[in-house]
Amino acid sequence: MQLSDYADRYETVRFERSDGVLQMTIHSQGGEVKWSVTEQGHHNELGLAFADIARDIENKVVVLTGTGDNFIAERAMGEPMPDPSLHDMWDRMAREGYAMLENFLAIPVPVISAVNGPVLIHSEIPVLADIVLAAEHTEFADTTHIAGANNVPGDGTQLIWPSLLGPNRGRHFLLTGARLSAREALRLGVVAEVLPADQLLARAHEIAAQLASRPMRVLRPTKMLLIRDLRRRLRDELELGLAAQGLALV
C-alpha cells in the first residue's frame, strides 16, 4: 500500500505527507466536519482510511486533525439513509463502528491527535491517539448516546472514557452528557497539552518530526507494546457493546 493508492479515495479525509509524517484531516466538502453516517460518510470512511494508513510502510507518524474551529461538533442534517430498514442500517453501523476503532488501534506507528475544537460526536476517537493535543476552545462530550439520543453507549465509549477518567467520573460523563473543557481534560490526564488554536498543528508536527527521526525498528515495537492492553480490552468489550446498542434500537 502506498499513499498514491488512497490519497484521493475518500470524500471526507484529506492526506498530506512529508518526511514520513502523514497528516490526516477530516472534513465535509472541504469545510468543518458535519458528521455523516452514509456509506460515503465519516462513519464508514474513517475505518477504511485507518486500515489503508496501517498498511502503508512509509508512514512513520500520523497526525489526525479536523477542519476549521471544530473537530466533530455537528451532524450532517437531512442526509438520506441508503438502508432499507433500521435492521439493515444497524448491521452496517455495527460493522463500521467496529472497524473504526479496531483499525485506528491497528495503526502500527505513533498517532498524534491535534484536536482543533469541540468534539461532541465520537469523542472517543481522538483520545485513542498516543499523544493528544487540544486547542484551548476544545470541549469533549458524548452527545449521541444516553444524554443526547436515548442510545446505549456500546460502541467503545463504555470502555474508553471510564478508562481515561476513572470508573466513577467516566460513568458520570457518559450518563449525563457532561462537557469536559480542554483545561479540565489536561488536569485529568486525557490530553497531554493545551495550546492556542493557531499553534496546535505546528506543535503536533514538531512532536511528529521528533518521533519520525527514530528508527522504524523502535517505533513499531514501542507502539505495539503501548497499545496492546487497550486493544485486547476493546476486542473483549466492543462486540457485546454493539450488540447491546443494537438491541436497544429494536
Residue 250 pLDDT exceeds 70: no
- Going along the chain from its start, the domains and CATH numbers come out as 3-248 (3.90.226.10)
Write out the three cell numbers for 185.
481534560
Residues in the chain: 250
Based on the number of CB atoms within 10 Å of its own CB, is 75 exposed (0-12), middle (13-18) or buried (19 or more)?
middle
Instruction: For 138-206, give the secondary structure using H, E and C.
Output: CEECCCCCHHHHCCCCCCCHHHHHHHHHCHHHHHHHHHHCCCEEHHHHHHCCCCCEEECHHHHHHHHHH
Answer whether 116's CB lies under 8 Å from 249's CB.
no
Answer whether 174's CB lies under 8 Å from 161's CB.
yes
pTM above threshold 0.75? yes
Residue 180 pLDDT exceeds 80: yes
Residue 98: the pLDDT is 86
**pLDDT tens digits for 197-215?**
999 999 999 999 999 999 9
Clarify whether 96 is annotated catalytic.
Answer: no
Least confident of 59-63, 113-117, 143-147, 229-233: 143-147
Instruction: Report the percent of the chain where pLDDT is more than 70.
Output: 96
Residue 62: the pLDDT is 98
Maximal C-alpha separation, the chain: 51
Residue 12: the pLDDT is 95
Please state the φ and ψ torsions of residue 170, each to the nearest 5 degrees: -65, -40
Q: How confident is the model at residue 93 (pLDDT cuts 50, 70, 90)?
A: confident
> What are the b/e assignments for 103-135, b being 16+ CB within 10 Å?
bbbebbbbbbbbbbbbbbbbbbbbbbbbbbbbb
Answer whether 58's CB lies under 8 Å from 2's CB.
yes
Strand (E) or helix (H) holding 83: none
> Of 124, 184, 193, 206, which residue is the catalytic one?
124
Residue 97: the pLDDT is 86
**47/155: higher pLDDT:** 47
